[in-house]
Structure 1
Amino acid sequence: MPKAFTPKVITANALIEGDVVYLTADDRWSPRLTEAELLTDEAHAQVRLLDASNRHAEVVGVYLADMDATQDGPEPTHFREAFRRKGPSNYAHGKQADL
């Protein structure tokens, strides 16, 4: 029996900056997970993933990431995505500098 589909977002790395970005419902790439489109339908998620994967001039490494739906927006279910959301950890720059 196939595993049930769980909520996901589309994530990638911005081609020029290398930052982690998330696909929004209005087809933008945002560095903020709270702006990401939460996909709850598997067929819709696959179509969105296919479209996002073809945006070679903007992003690399496009994939679906598991999330929980919360009142504050998508929240990672895996430590890898929580780590990616915070940005580089070697010193305060990028997203961490804004904290």
Structure 2
Amino acid sequence: MTDKVLTANRLTDGIAVWLDASGRWTERLQDALVARHPEAEASLETIGKRDFSDNLVVDVNVIEVEEVAGVIRPLRLRERIRAAGPTMDYAEGYAAADPAFIAA
């Protein structure tokens, strides 16, 4: 099984977020809870459905990741862009994405 994390967009501002081990949504992919077996993945899906129903997040997805040298990295380009931030200046406090993280 490929490692997976739960991602979504926060309903209040649309920012990409990931579920952490305490059940909170964080803006940092590196703080995400990594599911390493099917039961953990099922739990992530249940939490995602609950938080979507509670209007906390939208566009909830379980995504595949890999851990390289202690760094969590999404396998899909789309998710690397979401994790690293926009590819251009976006808004105050949100710098453009690191091209090395996206391109790898």
Structure-1-length-normalised TM-score:
0.82
Q: CA RMSD in A?
A: 2.1
User: Which residue matches 2:28?
Assistant: 32
Which consecutive aligned stretches of 4+ in structure 1 deviate over 3 angstroms post-superposition? none
Q: Which moved more, 1:24-33 or 1:67-76?
A: 67-76
TM-aligned CA distance change 1:6 to 1:15, over 3 Å? same
The one-letter code matched in structure 2 to 1:60 is V
What is the distance in 2 between the residues matched to 1:60 and 1:95? Answer: 20
Give me the identity figure in percent: 29
What is the distance in 1 between the residues matched to 2:94 and 2:70? Answer: 19
Consecutive unaligned residues of structure 2, counting only runs of 5 or more, are 99-104
Structure-2-length-normalised TM-score:
0.79
SS at match of 2:51: coil
What is the distance in 2 between the residues matched to 1:52 and 1:42? Answer: 15
Consecutive unaligned residues of structure 1, counting only runs of 5 or more, are none
- Larger RCO: Structure 1 or Structure 2 (Cα < 8 Å, ≥ 6 residues apart)? 1
